[in-house]
């Protein structure tokens, strides 16, 4: 089971893990309603290293990025759900709109993004290059999304 950590603990833990020779993978997202696409991407990301760190967008960040009515599930609960997955080691809730700050702080070996991205259009690709992180595109095709699920549930666009 994973652990939810604050920023100071995240940096400290990652430094210690790297010092012991562990390969760190960082992935991130809103993870508003966990679905099979998330699980597949997380498992794939974890397979790229020894430790999977998941950055979870905080509530204000999700609202800015996804719009009114989002997130559906509060950040603390989203983090708890992610930490309960066997493939997840560390979870950190961050308030920025992208994961650039975390990339600079923990300097992972791999920055994993879902298949809605390519290596060329990952928003943090320059920062990943700056810190020496390999970019990995993970998971199955983007056939699952919370936005699409909400549209199906409510019968309207969200």
pTM (2 d.p.): 0.90
Binned at pLDDT 50, 70 and 90, residue 144 comes out as low
For 95-114, the pLDDT digits (tens) are 999 999 999 999 999 999 99
Domains of the chain with CATH codes: 3-154 (3.40.50.620)
**Mean pLDDT of all residues in 29-39:** 91
**Mean pLDDT of all residues in 152-158:** 63
Burial 28-37 (b: 16+ CB within 10 A, else e): bbbbbbbeeb
For 54-94, the pLDDT digits (tens) are 999 999 999 999 999 999 999 999 999 999 999 999 999 99
**CA angle at residue 148 from 147 to 152, to 5 degrees?**
120
């Amino acid at each position: 089971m994973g652990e939810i950590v604050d920023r100071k603990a995240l940096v400290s833990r990652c430094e210690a893990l790297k010092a012991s020779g562990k390969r760190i993978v960082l992935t991130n997202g809103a993870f508003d309603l966990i679905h099979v696409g998330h699980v597949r991407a997380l498992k794939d990301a974890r397979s790229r290293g020894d430790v999977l760190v998941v950055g979870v967008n905080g509530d204000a960040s999700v609202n800015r990025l996804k719009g009114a009515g989002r997130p559906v599930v509060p950040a603390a609960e989203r983090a708890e759900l992610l930490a309960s997955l066997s493939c997840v080691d560390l979870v950190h809730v961050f308030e920025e709109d992208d994961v650039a700050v975390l990339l600079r702080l923990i300097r992972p070996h791999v920055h994993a993004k879902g298949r809605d991205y390519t290596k060329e259009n990952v928003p943090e690709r320059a920062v990943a290059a700056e810190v020496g992180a390999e970019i990995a595109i993970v998971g199955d095709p983007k056939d699952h999304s919370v936005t699409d699920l909400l549209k199906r549930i409510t019968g309207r666009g969200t």
